[in-house]
Structure 1
Amino acid sequence: MTDLVPTREHTELAAAVRNLLDRRSDSQAVRSAIEQPGGYDADLWATLCDQVGVAALAIPEEHGGAGFSLAETYVVLEELGRSLTPSPLLASVIASSALGPRDYESSARIASGAVATLAWSGVTGDIAAPVEVRWDGALHGTVSPVLNGDTAEILLVVAEHDAGTGLFLVDPTADGLRRTRLAGMDPTTGFARVELDAVAAEPISLDAAEILATTHRVGTLATAALQVGCAQRGLDMTVAYAKQREQFGRPIGSFQALKHRMADMLVRVQMSRSGAWAAVQAHVHDAPEAARLAAAAGSYCSEAAMAVAAETVQLHGGIAITWEHDAHLVLKRAQALHQLFGLPHQQRAALIS
C-alpha cells in the first residue's frame, strides 16, 4: 500500500536536512560553492553523507547502503532544490540506480559519498536518444553533457556494441579518457564533456535495455523532486517580497491581480508535489502504473517549475535580473532541470504510447 502523503519519518528527515541547509547553504554559501573546483561545497557534501547518509538512502544494506527507498531520497532532493544547493546527489542517485546490485564495491563507495555519474545521452534526453559511444573491446566516442562528469570518482558509460546496448565501468584515470567541464546557464548544476578514445572498460551488463529504462524513470523522479523544491523556493521568495515591497502606499501583495498570480503559483507547486510523490510511491511499490505516473510527473513538474520561475522573475521586477538577487538562480536552475530526461512533450509522448 502506498503512502499517499509523507509519513512522520519523512517529515522529520526533511526538517533535519532543511535545518542543515539553512545553516550551511544560504545564498552566500551557494555562491561560494559554485566557485569551488567541483562546482559544489565538498565539506557540505561530506556532512550530508556522514550525518544524514543522503547518498546511501536508496542503496540496499547488503550493498553498503541504508536500505531505504527512493521516497527518502526524494525528500532530500526536494530540500536541495528548495535551497538551490549545488550537489552531486542527483548524479550519484542515477548512477547507483544503473549499477544496482551488479557491483558491490562501487555501490558501497557511492553509499559512503564517492561521487558517481552515468555518461548516457538519455540523462539529457528521452530514453530513445541516440548513443554516441561504441564498444569493441574498448570504448570510443563522446558523451555531452554529463552530470558532474569532470569530478566523478565512479564513471559509468552506456555504449552500443554488436549485440545491443551495454553498461560499462570506466576507471576515471584510464588512458584515452578526457573529461572537460562545460560552462552552462545554471552555475549550480555541473556538466562536463566525456571523450573516450580506445578506453578500457569493465562490462557491467551487455544487455542494459531494462536497466536503462528503470534508470530513466528514477532520474525523471529525482529531477522532479529538485523541480518541486526549486518551484517552492520561487514561491516563497515571491510571497515574502510581495509582503515587503510597497507601491501607492500599500504592499504589492494586497493587489488583487498579484494575489491571483501568486495563487496560481501555489497551485502549480502543490500539484507538482502531489504528482511527483504519487509517482515515487508507485515506483517504490512497483505499481503497474509506475511508468505512466513517472512520465506524467516529469512533464508537469518540468513545466510548472519553469512557469513558477518565470513568475518569480516577473513579480520581483527589476531586481530579479541582478546577480545579487537569487531570482535568476531559480530561473536558471529550472531551465537546467527542464533539459533532463526528456522535454515535457517527450514525456507526454511516452505517457500515451
Structure 2
Amino acid sequence: MEGPGPVKNERDLLYSEEEEALRAAVRDLLADQCDAPGVIARTESDTPHHLALWKTLTDGMGLAGLLVPEALGGQGATHREAAVVLEELGRAVAPVPYLTSAVVATEALLACGTDDLLRELASGTSIGVLAVALNVAPGAAHKLVRHDDGVLSGELTGIADAAVADVLLVPADDGGLYAVDATAATVTPQTSLDLTRPLATVTLDGVRGRLLGDAEPAVRRALRAGAGLLASEQFGLADRSLTETVRYLKERKQFNRPVGGFQALKHRLAQLWLESVNLRAAARNAADALATGEDADMAVTVAQAYAAPVAVHAAEEALQLHGGLGMTWEHPAHLYLKRAKADSLAYGTAGAHREALAALVDLQAP
C-alpha cells in the first residue's frame, strides 16, 4: 500500500524575484539619499521628515500606491511588496511617512471606497494620516472627536506624521470617518522619543469634514495592516542592527585579536541571529496573510507579539557591543534604539497582542 503523498505547502513565504528586485531598488535609493549622518542632522532640525526622499519614493518609484488598484492610479500590488519596502525603510530608519500614509491611511480609504483620495495618496500628491494615536492596537478603543451640526471639534494626541499630512482621516462620535484638510486643523508637535517618526497633537475647532464612511471597520482594517507591516519594519531594523554589529566586532581588536572572536560575544550574536530569522518568518507570514486574507488576525497578532522584544533587543545589543562608540550622538545606534522602543508601543504593545492572540485561540490570557 502506498503512503500518502507529500503535503503541498500552498503558502510560499520566500521572496520572489520581483520582491528582491524591489528591495534592491529601494536599498540603492536609500544608500544614496538617506545615510545615517543625514538622518541625524534632520532630527536636530525643525523638519525631521525627508520630503525629497518621499517625493522620489512616490513620484519616481510609485511606491505610495502599492496597495492601491491600478484602476485608481496605483500599482495593484500586495502587502508582501509593501512589506519589502518597509524592511528597507526600517534598515535605514528613514524619516518618511510611508507606514502612516501608504499603508494605514490607504487601508482606511480602501475600506471606505474613496477613489479620489486614493488617487491622491497613490500618486504622492497628498500625504494622508489616520488621526488615531500611534499606540492604539487594532480593535482597541480610541479617542473620537465631537460631531455637531456638520462640524468637528476635539483634540487628538499622539498622531504620527501629522506635521506633514495634507489630509487627516478623523473618526467622530457619530460613527463616521471624516476627511479633514490638514490646514484647517491646529497641529502641535509633541516631544517624541523617535524623532524620525514625530508625534503631534491635532486640534479641531469647528472644522468641517467630508464624510467617507463608517469609522469602526475602516479604523480596524487600517490598524491591523499597520500592525502587520510594522513587523517588517522591525525586522529590517533588527537585521541592520545585527549586521552592523557583526561588522564592527570583526574589525574592532582587543588583545591583538578581533573582539568578535570572543566566545561570550559569539553566543550573544548567535542568539540575536536566531531571534532575527524567526522575526523575519513571522513578519513575512503576517504580510502574506494580509495579502491573501487568510488568518490575517492571527498572523498579525503573532508577529507583533514577537516583533517588539526582538527589535528592542537587537538595538540594545548593537549599542552595547559598539562600546563607547555606540554611545555617541554621531553613531546611528541611538536612532535604531529609539525607533525600536517607539515601535514597541505602536499599534499595540506585545502584551496587548498576546492577549488578543489568546482570545483568538480560546485560551486564557497570561
TM, length-normalised to structure 1: 0.94
- Does structure 1 residue 328 correspond to structure 2 residue 321? no
- Does structure 1 residue 226 correspond to structure 2 residue 233? yes
Q: State the partner residue of 1:2.
A: 11
Structure-to-structure mapping, 1:1-353, within 5 angstroms = 1-35=10-44, 37-92=46-101, 93-100=103-110, 102-113=113-124, 114-121=126-133, 123-126=134-137, 127-136=139-148, 137-161=150-174, 165-174=175-184, 177-205=185-213, 207-287=214-294, 289-353=295-359
Task: Give the Å deviation of 1:60.
Answer: 0.8
Identity %: 39
Q: CA separation in 2, counterparts of 1:139 and 1:19?
A: 43
Seen in structure 2, the aligned counterparts of structure 1 residues 59 and 35 have a Cα distance that, compared at 3 Å, is farther
Q: Deviations over 1:109-137 (max 9, x none)?
A: 1011121100013x322232332422223
User: Which deviates more from structure 2 when the two are superposed, residues 258-267 or residues 50-59?
Assistant: 50-59
Aligned AA for 1:102?
G
Q: State the partner residue of 2:7.
A: none
Unmatched runs of 5 consecutive residues or more in structure 2: 1-9, 360-366
Say if 1:2 and 1:285, in contact at 8 Å, map to a contact too: no
Seen in structure 2, the aligned counterparts of structure 1 residues 335 and 155 have a Cα distance that, compared at 3 Å, is same
Q: CA separation in 1, counterparts of 2:220 and 2:91?
A: 28
Aligned AA for 1:189?
R
Say if 1:38 and 1:151, in contact at 8 Å, map to a contact too: no
Aligned AA for 1:291?
D
Q: CA separation in 1, counterparts of 2:151 and 2:11?
A: 44
Task: Give the Å deviation of 1:38.
Answer: 4.0
Q: CA separation in 1, counterparts of 2:38 and 2:47?
A: 15
Larger Rg: 2
Task: Give the Å deviation of 1:284.
Answer: 0.8
Aligned AA for 2:129?
T
Task: Give the Å deviation of 1:91.
Answer: 1.0
Root-mean-square deviation (Å): 1.4
TM, length-normalised to structure 2: 0.91
SS in 1 for 2:169: strand
SS in 1 for 2:322: helix
SS in 1 for 2:63: coil
Task: Give the Å deviation of 1:317.
Answer: 1.5
Q: CA separation in 2, counterparts of 1:88 and 1:350?
A: 27
SS in 1 for 2:197: coil
Seen in structure 2, the aligned counterparts of structure 1 residues 322 and 78 have a Cα distance that, compared at 3 Å, is same
Say if 2:132 and 2:142, in contact at 8 Å, map to a contact too: no
Q: CA separation in 1, counterparts of 2:207 and 2:303?
A: 37
Task: Give the Å deviation of 1:2.
Answer: 3.2
Task: Give the Å deviation of 1:37.
Answer: 4.7
Q: CA separation in 2, counterparts of 1:119 and 1:130?
A: 10
SS in 2 for 1:160: coil
